[in-house]
Chains A and B, each alone.
Chain A
Amino acid sequence: MGYVAVKGGTEAIEASIERLRYNRLKGERHIEIETILATMKGLVDQVMSEASLYAPMLAALAIKQSEGNMEEAVFTLRAHRSTLPRLYYSEAIQTEDMRISRRISSSFKDIPGGQILGATTDYTHRLLDFDLLIENQQEEKQWLQHYKEKIDQLREQPSSQIFPKVVEYLRKNGLVQTYVDDNREPFDVTKKSLQFPANRSARLQTLTRGQTGAVTSLGYASMRGYGQVHPNVGELRVGMMPIHISSPHECEEEHYYIGAIEVTEVESFVPVKGASEESEEALDFEIGYGMCYGQNETKAIAMSILDQCLQHPSPDFPTHDEEFVLLHIDSVESTGFISHLKLPHYVTFQSKLDRARKGQKGE
């Protein structure tokens, strides 16, 4: 009887895990962690971002273990995160200090410091490159050598990697309000559960660890009409941010450099009705903010849209409803609950069946 099979518990699980292992090994090919790190940066970045743990090596391990299954890799890395005590909070970072590898504005052609394209697939043709089927290591080495020489020549001209923010231009023109720094202790969504209404720090934290696809979809929905935000990308920058911590045990305020993380930051310009009383027509700009680990530009832009949506709550649009957005974009939560439908539901179904039969009989 089928029933017995689903209660085959322990042995069935063990056999299933064995099969899983077999499937991973049967091709008799191994991928090294170093290979993943060197060739799958996009995947590593997304896993770190959605797992909210900046650890490229562990992310690569999670990818290897999960055979490249994104939701599994994020899940595994998040679970690992639960075993790590939180020892410090880092000092606040100023993204003006970012060592830029890419930085563009789609709002202004000429920005102080210039547009830096860096490495991007944006202007490539997405044609399958069949040359990659057989790569010639010798040729690649030569190409690398050649490229390095070219770069070294350029390096002789000194250039800075630090750039001013584009938004400062709008500020100077009085089109964006100047705010005083909000130095209140941020809400920590990993130490307390999200409460509503959520403050902006909690919202931003939840958005940045959101599933890339979910954040992108909801940001897209807002632009298509299920929301009111359709922004301009004021500035998108990708680069390394130095991280410092201060030791609470030292008498003097000492700061320690503990490393650098790569992030993508987006400041979107969103036109809003001016606050000035003289004219309702006057337009002001507000900033939608997006930031995530690694180079993950679509997600950061979508995050900036949703940040701005949630700054203007409205019952008319789901993308402006913080409970709708924040409670449904987490990869571990959504994939977990959807997949739990695979668990047996005999008792609950029996209970429903009982009601349905009684309904039929007219009891």
Chain B
Amino acid sequence: MTRLHHFAFFDEGSKKEIRRTILKAISIPGYQVPFSSREMPIARGWGTGGLQVTLSIIGKDDVLKVIDQGSDESVNAVNIKKLVEKTTGIAITEGTAEATIIQSRHRIPEQPLTEGQVLVLQVPAPEPLRSVEKSERQTKILHAEEEYSGAWLQLFEQIMKYGQTKTGADHPVYVADRYVMAPSPIPRFDNHKMNHSEALILLGAGREKKIYAVPPYTDVRSLAFEDYPFTVESFAEQACHLCGSTDTFLDEIIDADKDKVYYQCNDSHHCLAQVNGAIQGKGDISYA
């Protein structure tokens, strides 16, 4: 028995409610707006926040790209795409430039996003202060009072202990000089892509029931000290073994047979575009 689902899974009332939350989030950059997160047909913690945002803004003319850890073909990205495609019938793409909505987990694409595009990030832990304050009630007060000593002290303590900050992915950012925000676990390498992004960035945390946003052309600064500036991951001057890029986030691939380590672009579409461009004899790829 096949059952027809409503366009984009949700009933229209639910979508409207989530869109209102999104509008509020855009109006207060970096502020986590609570919303009544729905249970989805994919598991909590598997991108339900991003999925709810995507499903409530998607229209019949949209073109969707979904990536997981930089890959269009990663199992969870495929699963999410399948669900959206099944309930909307809209076009799916791997091309970063062709997509109107890009849902992503843990990465911002290498290719710069442009005006009119929406980047939807899946967020596991939206509260940047959670590691210093476990209570939700308290962190709400801290944000309201712009009391971010805890976040600064944490970085300071890391420097005292290890001589450097120890944040991996999800290094906190200051948004529009007002809210400290968790950028979702994107590598530090991607943090600067949020600053004055031409595309609208929406962040959805399904399990924690929060939506927040970075509107286009918003100041986003990574938390750092003057004498200990923010640093990003480096790959020891390695290049992608497929396309030769040296300016992208690289995956470290271990070939057990040959006992050798390869480096390869994490953003699979970008890598492919570079390779294709090189084959066609184009030095540069036009992303217009």
Question: When the two chains form the complex, which single residue of A190, A355, A362 contacts B166, counting CB atoms closer than 8 Å?
Answer: A355
Question: When the two chains form the complex, which single residue of B11, B13, B41 contacts A79, counting CB atoms closer than 8 Å?
Answer: B41
CB-CB under 8 A from A1, the residues of chain B are: 253, 255-256
CB-CB under 8 A from A348, the residues of chain B are: 106, 168-170, 185, 187
Which 5 pairs across A and B sit closest by C-beta, in order of nearness? A336-B44, A340-B45, A9-B73, A337-B45, A193-B209
CB-nearest residue of chain B to A76: B41
- How far apart sit A345 and B106, CA to CA, in the bound complex (Å)? 8
CB-CB under 8 A from A158, the residues of chain B are: none
Write the A160-204 contact mask toward B (1 if CB under 8 angstroms, else 0): 000000000000000000000000000001111111110000000
Q: Does A6 contact B (CB under 8 A)?
A: yes
Contact, CB under 8 Å: A336 / B68:
no
Contact, CB under 8 Å: B124 / A7:
no
Q: Shortest beta-carbon distance, B139 to chain A, in Å?
A: 10
- How far apart sit A192 and B136, CA to CA, in the bound complex (Å)? 16
Interface size of B as a range: 35 or more
Question: When the two chains form the complex, which single residue of B73, B105, B106, B140 contacts A7, counting CB atoms closer than 8 Å?
Answer: B73
Contact, CB under 8 Å: A332 / B36:
no
Instruction: Name which of B76-84, B145-153, B175-183, B277-285 contacts chain A.
Output: B76-84
Given the contacts A78-B39, A83-B11, A347-B185, A9 and B78 also touching, CB distance less than 8 Å = yes
Write the B7-26 contact mask toward A (1 if CB under 8 angstroms, else 0): 00111011001000000000
CB-nearest residue of chain B to A197: B137
CB-CB under 8 A from B187, the residues of chain A are: 347-348, 350-351
- How far apart sit A1 and B252, CA to CA, in the bound complex (Å)? 12
Q: Does B154 contact A (CB under 8 A)?
A: no
Contact, CB under 8 Å: A196 / B39:
no
CB-nearest residue of chain B to A71: B43
Given the contacts A336-B45, A346-B251, A359 and B162 also touching, CB distance less than 8 Å = yes
CB-nearest residue of chain A to B87: A83
- How far apart sit A345 and B36, CA to CA, in the bound complex (Å)? 27
Q: Shortest beta-carbon distance, A326 to chain B, in Å?
A: 10
CB-CB under 8 A from B253, the residues of chain A are: 1, 3
Within 8 A of A (CB), among B44-58: 44-46, 48
Q: Shortest beta-carbon distance, A310 to chain B, in Å?
A: 13
- How far apart sit A306 and B170, CA to CA, in the bound complex (Å)? 35
Question: When the two chains form the complex, which single residue of A9, A83, A85, A336 contacts B77, counting CB atoms closer than 8 Å?
Answer: A9
Question: When the two chains form the complex, which single residue of B107, B162, B188, B256 contacts A2, counting CB atoms closer than 8 Å?
Answer: B256
Write the A332-363 contact mask toward B (1 if CB under 8 angstroms, else 0): 11011111100111111011111100110011
- How far apart sit A3 and B9, CA to CA, in the bound complex (Å)? 33
Q: Does A293 contact B (CB under 8 A)?
A: no
CB-CB under 8 A from A82, the residues of chain B are: 9-10, 14, 38-40
Write the A123-139 contact mask toward B (1 if CB under 8 angstroms, else 0): 00000000000000000
CB-CB under 8 A from B75, the residues of chain A are: 6, 8-9, 12-13, 343-344
Count contacts on A: residues with CB < 8 A to the other chain.
Answer: 54
Contact, CB under 8 Å: A332 / B44:
yes
Contact, CB under 8 Å: B45 / A347:
no
Q: Does B5 contact A (CB under 8 A)?
A: yes
What number of A-B contacts does a CB cutoff of 8 Å give? 164
Given the contacts A10-B78, A345-B69, A339 and B45 also touching, CB distance less than 8 Å = yes
Write the A227-265 contact mask toward B (1 if CB under 8 angstroms, else 0): 000000000000000000000000000000000000000
- 19 A-B pairs within 8 Å (CB atoms) are namely A6-B75, A7-B71, A7-B268, A9-B74, A10-B78, A78-B39, A79-B40, A82-B39, A192-B34, A192-B36, A194-B209, A335-B43, A336-B48, A337-B44, A343-B75, A346-B69, A347-B251, A348-B106, A354-B233
Given the contacts A84-B11, A354-B233, A343 and B252 also touching, CB distance less than 8 Å = no
Q: Shortest beta-carbon distance, A48 to chain B, in Å?
A: 14
Given the contacts A8-B73, A350-B252, A351-B233, A75 and B43 also touching, CB distance less than 8 Å = yes
Q: Interface residues of B: mostly helix, strand, loop or mixed?
A: loop
Q: Does A323 contact B (CB under 8 A)?
A: yes
Q: Does B2 contact A (CB under 8 A)?
A: no
Q: Shortest beta-carbon distance, A95 to chain B, in Å?
A: 27
Contact, CB under 8 Å: A10 / B73:
yes
CB-CB under 8 A from A197, the residues of chain B are: 137
Contact, CB under 8 Å: B106 / A347:
yes
Q: Does B60 contact A (CB under 8 A)?
A: no
CB-CB under 8 A from A194, the residues of chain B are: 209
Q: Interface residues of A: mostly helix, strand, loop or mixed?
A: helix
- How far apart sit A359 and B161, CA to CA, in the bound complex (Å)? 11
Q: Does A81 contact B (CB under 8 A)?
A: yes
- How far apart sit A147 and B169, CA to CA, in the bound complex (Å)? 67
Q: Does B245 contact A (CB under 8 A)?
A: no
- How far apart sit A347 and B17, CA to CA, in the bound complex (Å)? 33
CB-CB under 8 A from A57, the residues of chain B are: none
Write the A52-93 contact mask toward B (1 if CB under 8 angstroms, else 0): 000000000000000000000001101101111100000000
Contact, CB under 8 Å: B9 / A336:
no
Q: Shortest beta-carbon distance, B151 to chain A, in Å?
A: 18
CB-CB under 8 A from A10, the residues of chain B are: 73, 78
CB-nearest residue of chain B to A339: B43
CB-CB under 8 A from B35, the residues of chain A are: 193
Contact, CB under 8 Å: B163 / A362:
yes
CB-CB under 8 A from B234, the residues of chain A are: 354
CB-CB under 8 A from A116, the residues of chain B are: none
Q: Shortest beta-carbon distance, A328 to chain B, in Å?
A: 11
Q: Does B37 contact A (CB under 8 A)?
A: yes
Contact, CB under 8 Å: B136 / A323:
yes
- How far apart sit A318 and B162, CA to CA, in the bound complex (Å)? 33
Contact, CB under 8 Å: A3 / B168:
no
Q: Shortest beta-carbon distance, B270 to chain A, in Å?
A: 14
CB-CB under 8 A from B105, the residues of chain A are: 343
Q: Does A272 contact B (CB under 8 A)?
A: no
Contact, CB under 8 Å: B46 / A336:
yes
Most buried by B among A191, A337, A338, A354: A354
